[in-house]
Amino acid sequence: MKIISWNINGFRAIIKKDFKKTINELNPDILCLQEVKANEKQLTSDEINIEGYSYIWNAAERLGYSGTATYYKNNFKPDETKIGFNIPEFDNEGRVICTRYGDIDLYNIYFPNGQRGMDRVAYKIQFYETLLQICNEDHKRGRKIIITGDFNTAHTEIDLANPKENENYSGFLKVERDMITKYLESNFVDIYRSLNPDKVKYTWWTYRFAARARGIGWRIDYFLVSQDLLPKIKNVEILDSIQGSDHCPVVLEI
């Protein structure tokens, strides 16, 4: 099974940039998109459909904001689908889609960005805490979990180009980084960093200052997997040569 996660920074924008051709070439079995910034009514059938795939869409109530979508090949239909946390303050932003395959739960998540002020940092931390509580309970029940998406946090200094300059900004605050650590202390593995302990690769670059061309980026898009899944992991890659968004895709093969 090949799973690709990609923050596309607007579905209506990326479909004009050879998006479907890229997906056809990458050929994922499951495609997890974040920040789709559209609801289904804003898209035509030709725009929203990808040949050979069905989709699950979770739009934010606010137009042009947030949202997630999970596409899956028709022979990878999930056994069950869950949208959101059943908590209105989080669910109205369209951030969570969970698809279940046997004993595996796949979470496609667009974690909150805390850069609009400390109230949003607090919201972001509560979101992290809520998801972790759900996952801890599911681990106790024997579930295996994959969490993928835009975490909006660089975990350690190797995960961004300028750590010292950013340590007081959301995305690299200690309280945010500690949440990633908390997940790793709760039966999860950051599989890319586990397999590539010293490798420097990024998944997001600001559009300003020619940051991508200059290699000034952040690794904020992850696959966290339950430790019980480690024997099944074949490969994980950051596809940083693929354009179309300010993020690049990340791929996991299990």
Task: Characterize 217-253 residue by residue with b for buried, 16 or more Cβ atoms within 10 angstroms of its Cβ, and e for exposed.
Answer: bbbbbbbbbbeebeeebeebebebebebbbbbbbbbe
Q: Residue 195: CA atoms inside 13 Å, Cβ hemisphere, count?
A: 17
Residue with tokens 């079995």: 29
Q: Own/partner pairs for 137-140, CB < 8 Å, 24+ apart?
A: 138/105, 139/186, 139/187, 139/226
For the question of residue 138 being annotated catalytic, the response is no
Please report, as a single letter, which amino acid is at residue 90.
F
Q: How many helices (H) and strands (E) does the chain have?
A: 9, 12
Q: Of 150, 190, 240, 246, which one is the catalytic site residue?
A: 150
Measured CA to CA, the distance from residue 20 to residue 51 in angstroms comes to 9
Distance of CA 152 to the CA centre of its chain: 9
Asked if 249 and 26 touch (Cβ cutoff 8 Å), the reply is yes
Instruction: Report the C-alpha gap between 191 and 194 in whole angstroms.
Output: 5
Identify the helix (H) or strand (E) that includes residue 165. Answer: helix 163-166
Sequence length of the chain is 254
Q: How far apart are CA 106 and CA 36, in angstroms?
A: 18
Active-site residue list: 150
